[in-house]
């Protein structure tokens, strides 16, 4: 099958499978590779050691699939278009994690179907579908595949559809017809994301110091959170959407089509004190299949305590005192003690 026809049919199938965005590009060394190495060398990845451990693998998609010739980059919306207001006793959750399903699971299933379709079309070619976990600079390839540009907030932005989407990639040994890369960014003089970031996590436009980012601190970071960053976390218990919420390219609102990504009670707004009363098993049942599972119980309780401390309402003191005296986790205890001090200092 010729490249234009194969590309057209793969894109059409991807759309049927729920990917609203698609673009194809050649498998080459990513243009952002050296910026990525500089970013690692600066220490901006914090404790995400797995990135440094595989740094050489990022140099070419061949390290993900041997003899890769092309990449079909795909985007799937998760935005709900509902601005979140702060509520006492509740913690905000980044909108990608509002639903019942971990997006990795859903997207992997769709990629499997796309892979099967690819095999039917070109049985002599190999392909592999990846979402997040492979050593691949997806945002860089998405730009090359014409899907969007990297904004000053370091997220990929599509002119029509904003930035609330997951990226996935189908790597193939087949040749595809490639899309025009997006050569320039369209942020212009805007600095809304840089100005709004509560932890000043951007040392300069287009560069994120993950060590200061609330998303990293509340999800990826497994240790106690530095005291000077805790107040800036405000009421974010899992992730942070601020630099997306303020972006004018998201103001048109983009809606997720997948029912599994729709907000469910107690996941969109986490009831923080309830979290402390859950047993390990109840916690597992509630979060095992959702993105919130990534922090495990310890991480989520640490975040919940910090948010309660930031909200400074005296009615939380008994819960925090009990957790501080009973927990076996030094990380949770540290957060509870800090929160108690904040409330008592009011």
Residues noted as catalytic: 132
When asked if residue 215 is in the footprint of ligand SF4 (CB under 6 A), the reply is yes
Q: Which stretch binds ligand SF4 (CB under 6 A): 25-33, 137-145, 170-178, 208-216?
A: 208-216
Give the nearer residue to ligand SF4 in terms of CB position, either 28 or 160.
Answer: 160
Element of type H or E holding 301: helix 296-311
Give the single-character DSSP code of 62: G
Q: Which is nearer to ligand SF4, 18 or 205 (CB)?
A: 205
Longest dimension (CA), the chain: 71
Under the criterion CB under 6 A, does residue 201 sit at the interface with ligand SF4?
yes
Does residue 164 touch ligand SF4 according to CB under 6 A? no
Q: Is 152 in the site for ligand SF4 (CB under 6 A)?
A: yes
- Which residues are within 8 A (CB) of 213 and not within 5 positions of it... i.e. 6 or more apart? 197, 199, 201, 240
Q: Based on the shown chain and the rule CB under 6 A, indicate whether residue 182 belongs to the binding site for ligand SF4.
A: no
Evaluate whether 179 touches 24 at the Cβ level (below 8 Å).
yes
Task: For residues 71 and 171, give the distance between their C-alpha atoms in angstroms, rounded to a whole number.
Answer: 5
When the beta carbons of 75 and 129 are compared against ligand SF4, the nearer one is: 75
Q: Is 308 in the site for ligand SF4 (CB under 6 A)?
A: no
Closest distance to ligand SF4 from the beta carbon of 96 (Å): 11
Pairing of strands 236-238, 127-130: unpaired
Half-sphere exposure of 218 (CA within 13 A, CB side): 31
Separation between Cα atoms, residue 328 and residue 343, nearest integer Å: 23
Measured distance CA(309)–CA(236) in Å, rounded? 12
φ, ψ of residue 150 to 5 degrees: the values are: -85, 115
Stretches 71-79, 139-147, 236-244, 306-314: which one binds ligand SF4 (CB under 6 A)? 236-244
Determine contact, residues 80/34, Cβ cutoff 8 Å. no
> In the 8-state DSSP scheme, what is residue 204?
B
Least distance from C-beta 56 to ligand SF4, angstroms?
A: 27
**C-beta closer to ligand SF4: residue 30 or 151:** 151
Check residue 151 for interaction with ligand SF4 (CB under 6 A).
yes
Identify the residue among 167, 171, 197, 275 touching ligand SF4 (CB under 6 A): 197
DSSP letters spanning 128-190: EEE-SSSS--HHHHHHHTTS-EE-TTSSEEBTTTBS-EEEEEEEESS--PPPPP--S---TT-
The answer to whether 168 contacts ligand SF4 (rule: CB under 6 A) is: no
| Residue 180 lies near ligand SF4 (rule: CB under 6 A) | no
For ligand SF4, which is the closer residue by CB, 70 or 94?
A: 94
Task: Establish if 240 lies at the interface with ligand SF4 (CB under 6 A).
Answer: yes
Does 140 bind ligand SF4 (CB under 6 A)? Our answer is no
Chain position whose Cβ is nearest to ligand SF4: 151
Per CB under 6 A, which region of 95-103, 107-115, 184-192, 258-266 contacts ligand SF4? Answer: 184-192
Q: Which of 80, 140, 153, 234 binds ligand SF4 (CB under 6 A)?
A: 153
Edge-to-edge strand list for the sheet holding 236-238: 236-238, 90-93, 269-271
The residues near 111 (Cβ < 8 Å, ≥ 6 apart) are: 129, 130, 131, 168, 170
Which one among 246, 263, 339, 343 touches ligand SF4, defined by CB under 6 A?
A: 246
Question: Looking at 51-59, 124-132, 189-197, 256-264, which segment touches ligand SF4 (CB under 6 A)?
Answer: 189-197
130 binds ligand SF4 (CB under 6 A): no
Instruction: Tell me the CA end-to-end span of the chain in Å, nearest whole number.
Output: 70
Which positions lie near ligand SF4, rule CB under 6 A? Answer: 151-153, 187, 190-193, 197, 199, 201, 208, 213-215, 240, 242-243, 246-249
């Amino acid at each position: 099958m010729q490249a234009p026809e194969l590309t057209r049919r793969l894109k059409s199938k991807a759309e049927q499978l729920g990917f609203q965005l698609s673009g194809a590009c050649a498998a080459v060394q990513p243009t952002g590779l050296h910026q990525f190495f500089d970013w690692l060398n600066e220490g901006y990845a914090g404790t995400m050691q797995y990135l440094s451990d595989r740094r050489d693998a990022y140099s070419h998609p061949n390290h993900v699939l041997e003899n890769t010739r092309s990449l079909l980059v795909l985007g799937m919306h998760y935005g709900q278009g509902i601005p979140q207001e702060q509520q006492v006793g509740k913690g905000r959750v980044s909108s990608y994690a509002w639903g019942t399903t971990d997006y990795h699971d859903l997207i992997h299933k769709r990629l499997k179907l796309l892979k099967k379709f690819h095999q039917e079309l070109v049985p002599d070619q190999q392909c592999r579908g990846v979402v997040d976990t492979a050593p691949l600079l997806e945002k860089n390839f998405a730009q090359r595949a014409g899907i969007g540009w990297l904004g000053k907030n370091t997220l990929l932005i599509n002119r029509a559809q904003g930035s609330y989407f997951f990226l996935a990639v189908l790597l193939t040994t087949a040749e595809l017809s490639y899309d025009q890369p997006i050569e320039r960014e369209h942020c212009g003089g805007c600095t809304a994301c840089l100005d709004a970031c509560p932890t000043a996590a951007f040392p300069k436009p287009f560069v994120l110091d993950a060590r200061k980012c609330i998303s990293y601190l509340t999800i990826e970071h497994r240790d106690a959170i530095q005291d000077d960053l805790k107040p800036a976390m405000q009421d974010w218990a899992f992730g942070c959407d601020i630099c997306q919420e303020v972006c004018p390219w998201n103001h048109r609102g983009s809606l997720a089509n997948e029912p599994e990504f729709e907000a469910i009670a107690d996941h969109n707004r986490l009831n923080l004190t309830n979290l402390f009363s859950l047993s390990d098993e109840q916690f597992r049942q509630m979060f095992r299949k959702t993105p919130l599972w990534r922090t495990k119980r310890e991480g989520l309780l640490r975040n919940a305590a910090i948010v309660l401390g930031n909200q400074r309402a005296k009615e939380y003191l008994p819960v925090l005192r009990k957790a501080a005296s009973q927990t076996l986790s030094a990380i949770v205890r540290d957060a509870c003690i800090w929160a108690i001090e904040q409330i008592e200092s009011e």
